Amino acid sequence: MASPLEIDEENDNKGSMWDLEQKLDQPMDAEAGRLRNMYREKFSALLLLRLAYQSLGVVYGDLGTSPLYVFYNTFPRGVDDPEKVIGALSLIIYSLTLVPLLKYVFIVLRANDNGQGGTLALYSLLCRHANIKIIPNQHRTDEELTTYSRTTFHEKSFAAKTQRWLEEQKFIKSTILILVLVGTCMVIGDGILTPAISVLSAAGGIKVNKPEVDSGVVVLVAVVILVGLFSIQRYGTDRVGWLFAPIVLLWFLLIGGIGIYNLWRFGGSVLRAFSPLYVYRYLRDGRKDSWLSLGGILLSITGTEALFADLANFPVSSVQIAFTLVVFPCLLLAYSGQAAYLVNNLHHSQDVFYRSIPEKIYWPVFVIATLAAVVASQATITATFSIIKQALAHGCFPRVKVVHTSKKFLGQIYIPDINWILMVLCIAVTAGFKNQTQIGNAYGTAVVLVMLVTTLLMILVMILVWHCHWILVVAFTGLSLIVECTYFSAVLFKIDQGGWAPLAIAGVFLIVMYVWHYGTVKRYQFELHSKVSMAWILGLGPSLGLVRVPGIGLVYTELASGVPHIFSHFITNLPAIHSVVVFVCVKYLPVYTVPEEERFLVKRIGPKNYHIFRCVARYGYKDLHKKDDDFEKKLFDNLFMFVRLESMMEGCSDSEYSLCEPQTEQSRDFMLNNNGNTTSLSNMDYSISSVDSIVPARSPTNVNVTFQSSNSHYTEVDELEFLNNCREAGVVHILGNTVVRASRNSRFYKKIAVDYIYAFLRKICRENSVIFNIPHESLLNVGQVFYV
């Protein structure tokens, strides 16, 4: 879904609200200042309400469609005692209060990573506060990013002790990663089960009003809707997204209104369920049957985990307002109305939602229910695409094609391969189970596991990020685990009744993600341990012992420092190398985005006459590579700017990073006074920060280099002209193709994982050349084999 702030900017073409706020910021006298504050508060409140309205369509669609199937799954064999209905309603009321309201809306949502939610966003947040990332490719300059927010704590504090404990224990790092992957896989499972149960439940309304219709027809209608839903994903939600909020708002008002109607019609005796005493009686009297029914009651809070994953840059306060003013009261009314109807019609537990609708508005409600189910499914599918994109950035998922569906909003993406996999699995679940009970059992298993993972990650967030007192941490953990473990124990009894489905799906995705991450780590470690020493490069001289031919060679590597092994492999097997060599490292950081002006770091390797540079391109887990030559153009722009700046800064000629960041007036004046050519780049501000300078062992002399000799005096203009000539001569992209294989003495499961699973994933995933959009005629692959 699009960022709400971006939606506001597009919808308000005249920018009335924002323009007025800017005018209100202008200097005024005391009386005018008082009026300014009054108007600012008024417009801030209006903006907040508007965002709360928009969040309904993005965040609450899944949670809002739960009334379609909760009582059906709670009493799959019917109910014979009105007290059981009241007891179940009491459990629903307190489940909604404890989990979505207290835990998620008022606590967990505050743990968002600059507006991004989900298990991987929590993991990124933790990675910035403790060195628990298994791939150690971060540099201290990364912490200077404006989006690299982190809190500090005293060395002797409990947070500092926890941080050291986490960083020292390799097993704990791996355990946290597996927890995150499990949560991610369960969210992917939600992307399969939510459309299945929501659409099938909505389509079930046909059979309620037309009993003669066969169940197979209902399943067929649901499958057709699902095929249509997944088929339009490639077009994105840009054109129809504005409909989501009014549809969901109308849905909530309808179910709330129907609830009020049923309470008025059948009496409000069920409101006794607001007493927690009925929870105790329900579990005491029903014993095992009541305990097993918790799996159905759990479905009343499904969508809560999607609430966090779909936060989508909405301000937390707007999401809280939407829940407390609209979602929560409407859900309570809906469930109370259904309970009131069911108490007087015990034999209608299988289809209580549709039975409780007044006959005159039956078909309009059916249409809105179907649309709401589609919106809920769309939100879950979008969340699945988003979380897989995050997994890609963390090196935990094979490279797949990621497509922008909107030129205006970066957050709207579409992953074709995943879309069709979700569709096939979703149709298989719908057509295979054919009823809501088994799908509900599967859905409940996935939901409760995501909640447990979130609780465990929140413990670390509360300690490392929020620095909470241990009493608060224990209280939050204890209350959350009591509720969630109770539900988890109930769904365990339903593993053989459909609960196995999400476990099987998540198991397959977990194997794929963990094996891919394992291979990625091993490849990185291989490059790290086999990198070439700078002394060896300097010993070869400026020509590197080869013929330096005109052109620029871009050598792609995963290393952010040092000379990769692929380069030594290249120059020992070929007689020539390009006049300019640039080591390009594209790496993802545990931040949601890297601002465009801070993306590139440029560094010179060795003396000037070697013409070797390094460029590090940094991305956040929400950033995407654009499918054009924009990346290459910006890389060279930053390289040329680095050369300009280097010529100005005496004593910084050997090994510097050029980091794009806001400059002071003094440094800007310095640039303008020392180089008149900088006026053409007035929109870009740069500064230089010295990083681990390389001191050459000796100064090579009497070595000729293409275009210029080593004895020449390199001025800024000379080197820029030299780089431009090389660029015009041609750019070649050199990629390493490292094949990972298990060693002969490896255990059998390692051989299966590396030689078969990882090799298969590497074969079917997208090549790096496609990801970077490298023209085939400019590509050079360098192969090497590595044994683990």
User: pLDDT tens for residues 9-30?
Assistant: 333 333 333 343 344 444 445 5
The pLDDT value recorded for residue 31 is: 52
Q: Is the CA virtual torsion 468, 471, 474, 475 positive or negative?
A: negative
The pLDDT value recorded for residue 776 is: 73
The pLDDT value recorded for residue 688 is: 32
| Under 8 Å between Cβ of 378 and 61 | yes
At residue 693, φ and ψ (nearest 5 deg) are: -60, 145
Q: Is the CA virtual torsion 432, 383, 100, 103 positive or negative?
A: positive
Residue keyed to tokens 């020992």: 572
Expressed in percent and rounded to 5, the helix, strand and coil fractions of the chain are 65, 10, 25
Q: Is the CA virtual torsion 740, 396, 769, 585 positive or negative?
A: negative
The pLDDT value recorded for residue 713 is: 42
CA atoms within 13 A on the CB side of 762: 19
| Under 8 Å between Cβ of 404 and 412 | yes
- Partners of 414 in the β-ladder: 403
Q: Within its chain, how far is the Cα of 434 from the centroid?
A: 32
Cβ neighbors of 219 (< 8 A, separation 6 or more) are 200, 203, 430, 431, 434
Strands (E), 338-440: 403-404, 413-414
Cβ neighbors of 495 (< 8 A, separation 6 or more) are 445, 503
The pLDDT value recorded for residue 645 is: 85
pLDDT digits (tens, 9 = 90+) for 75-86: 988 888 899 999
Closest CA to 229 of 384, 436, 53: 384
The pLDDT value recorded for residue 667 is: 34
Distance CA 161, CA 163 (A): 5
The pLDDT value recorded for residue 251 is: 95
The pLDDT value recorded for residue 770 is: 64
- Partners of 413 in the β-ladder: 404
Q: SS3 for 416?
A: helix
Strands (E), 651-709: 656-660, 686-690
Alpha helices in 204-267 (DSSP H): 205-209, 215-231, 244-266
Residue keyed to tokens 């490849």: 523
Q: SS3 for 626?
A: coil
Distance CA 765, CA 781 (A): 17
- Partners of 614 in the β-ladder: 583, 603
At residue 267, φ and ψ (nearest 5 deg) are: 95, 155
The pLDDT value recorded for residue 501 is: 87
The pLDDT value recorded for residue 670 is: 32
Q: What does the chain come to in residues?
A: 788
Residues (pLDDT < 70) of the chain are 1-43, 136, 237-241, 312-313, 406-411, 434, 625-629, 650-717, 768-773
- State the Rg of the chain over Cα: 30
* Tokens read off for 739: 């094949």
The pLDDT value recorded for residue 215 is: 81
Name the strand (E) or helix (H) holding 459. Answer: helix 436-464
Distance CA 156, CA 162 (A): 10
